[in-house]
Amino acid sequence: MNKIFKAEILKNQALTEDVYCLSINVPFNIEAKPGQFFIIKINERFDPLLGRPFSIFDLEDKTLKFLYRVKGKGTSVLSKLREGQNLQITGPFGKWYPFPKDDYIVIAGGIGIASVFYLMKKFPKRAYLFYGARHRREIFYYKELEEVAKEVFISTECGTLDYKGVITELFRRKGLHLNLPIYSCGPMIMIRELKKLLKNKDVPCYVATEERMACGVGACLGCVIETKEGFKRVCTEGPVFEIGDLIL
C-alpha cells in the first residue's frame, strides 16, 4: 500500500559530476521491496508539477536512499537541495523482483545498480554480481557491493578494473554457464544483448526497465514497452518484467 508523506533530506551527496546519492528520513516504518520505486516531488510550486520516479537504492530503518543521474530540470533542481530540506514522497510503486530462493546472478549497467543493490542486501552473499560502467569512477559503492554479493565481476570501457569491455561479454565468459536466475537493470542496449545471450537458455531473467519512466503514475504513456501481450506501461505494469516477455 503506497503512502504520501513529507521526508527530510539527510544527505544529497555528489558521487561524480552528475550522479548523486540522496538519503531521506521516512517519518515512520515503511515496507518496500527490491525493484519498486517512489515518486519524489520537490515542492508544490515546482514545474514540472508531476513528480519523478526513483528506484529504491537502499532502505534501512527509516533511511531511504536513491541513486540518480542529473539529466533534466527536475533532477538538476533536486541535486541542489541540501540537508534539512523537505521533499514530498509517494510510494512504494511497481512490481518487485521475485525473491530469489537460492544463488542468483545480478547484471547491472551503469546507474542500473540503483535497482539491484537493495535486492542483494535483502538476499546477501548469494549473488554473482556483474557490474559494468563506462569508467572506474562510475563503479559506485564497490566496498558495499563486495559485502552483499557472493562474487563481484566488474567491467569498464577503459579496463581499469577486472575487464575491458561490456558487461554482457564478461557475463558470457564467466556467468552464463552457471544457469542461475538472473536479475538485471541497465540501459536498453544491455538488456537487448542479454536477451540474445539467453536465447537458448532455460533460466528466468527478470529485468527492471525503468529508464523509460517519466510521470510514474500511468498518466503520460511515455513509458510503454512492447511485450508479447501488447504494449504495457512500465510504471504500472512493471518496472520488472520477464525478459522473454519483452519484444526488444
**Spatial CB neighbours of 78, under 8 Å, sequence gap ≥ 6:** 12, 20, 22, 40, 42, 68, 70
Q: Which is nearer to ligand FES, 64 or 223 (CB)?
A: 223
Cβ 191 to ligand FES, closest distance in Å? 18
Which of the ranges 3-11, 75-83, 177-185, 217-225 carries the binding residues for ligand FES, by CB under 6 A? 217-225
Is 225 an interacting residue with respect to ligand FES (CB under 6 A)?
Answer: no
Which of the ranges 98-106, 131-139, 200-208, 229-237 carries the binding residues for ligand FES, by CB under 6 A? 229-237
C-alpha cell at 184: 538485471
Q: Which is nearer to ligand FES, 65 or 233 (CB)?
A: 233
Q: Which is nearer to ligand FES, 83 or 226 (CB)?
A: 226
Residues in the interface with ligand FES (CB under 6 A) total 13
Is 218 an interacting residue with respect to ligand FES (CB under 6 A)?
Answer: yes
CA–chain centroid gap for 146, Å, is 18
Is 232 an interacting residue with respect to ligand FES (CB under 6 A)?
Answer: no
Interface with ligand FES by CB under 6 A: which residues?
213-216, 218-223, 233-235
